[in-house]
Amino acid sequence: MTFIYRVSTPLKLALALSGIVFITLSNPSFALAIQPEAIDLAKQALEKYKRGDLQGAIADYTQAIQVSPDFANAYIERGIAYHDARALHRAITDLDRAIQIDPNNALALYNRGEIYSDLNKLPQALVDLNQALELKPGYAEAYNNRGVVYAKLGKFETALKDIGRAIALKPNYVFAYNNRALVRTELKDIAGAIADYTEAIRLAPTLAEAYLNRGRLHLETRNRQAAITNWQQAAKLFQERGDRDRYQQVQNALKQLQ
């Protein structure tokens, strides 16, 4: 099983983490005097990030940091933009700096832990996620992502407990249901996995990957028609998303069943 942090997964379905947490300037992580110009630049960068202009956001965050070199949030947010641009080592460097400025910043530790997981540096990921949870015990996203790291390590029972804690803290946490379904599949709890996919779909009806995985489980339990129905919906959603490769892969799988 492959694990990634987003739900944009290949047909060989992956474990979708919650995604990197993007913080806002209304909740500063460290009480330092930040120049108003730097705050304005960071706000401008955030708007560019939301529009998908990653390079524009990175440039504005860089200017904000030049104005206020100890602006921890700007380092975190630029790190997230680097992450989304797949410049993972630059993202780590920025989060290192944010943590150097503010060692007790749970958000920075969480995000760095997720990127370490993305880089398959699992021991480092666990260290950061453990520390984030020590600082913020009710951190549902950190429990979810630590569960994913444990799953990558093959510790599925421990992963199940962590993701269960995430759901207890955040009952509408769609990615956690999707993740728990994948872990339950590894533990051969097919009925539990189907139930979790069903809940993920209830919470996020356009989650194509959940339909695809649920269809696979129905096929495994010899419910061929249910598998076809789920895969047809997955194909429709992939097509609407503009994901031609996965749409075609599901269509090819359907042809083998029909």
- pLDDT exceeds 50 at position 250: yes
SS3 (DSSP) at 190? helix
- Per-residue model confidence as pLDDT tens digits over 180-227: 999 999 999 999 999 999 999 999 999 999 999 999 999 999 999 999
Phi, psi of 199 (to 5 degrees): -70, -40
- Per-residue model confidence as pLDDT tens digits over 38-81: 999 999 999 999 999 999 999 999 999 999 999 999 999 999 99
- pLDDT exceeds 90 at position 27: no
137 DSSP assignment: T
- Per-residue model confidence as pLDDT tens digits over 159-168: 999 999 999 9
Q: Strand 2-4 vs strand 14-16: parallel, antiparallel, or unpaired?
A: parallel
The whole-number pLDDT of residue 34 equals 82
Q: What is the pTM of this model?
A: 0.84
SS3 (DSSP) at 250? helix
d(C-alpha 129, C-alpha 168), whole Å: 18
The whole-number pLDDT of residue 116 equals 95
For the chain, where do the domains classified as CATH 1.25.40.10 start and end?
A: 2-207
The reply to whether CATH 2.40.50.180 applies to domain 2-207 is no
d(C-alpha 223, C-alpha 172), whole Å: 28
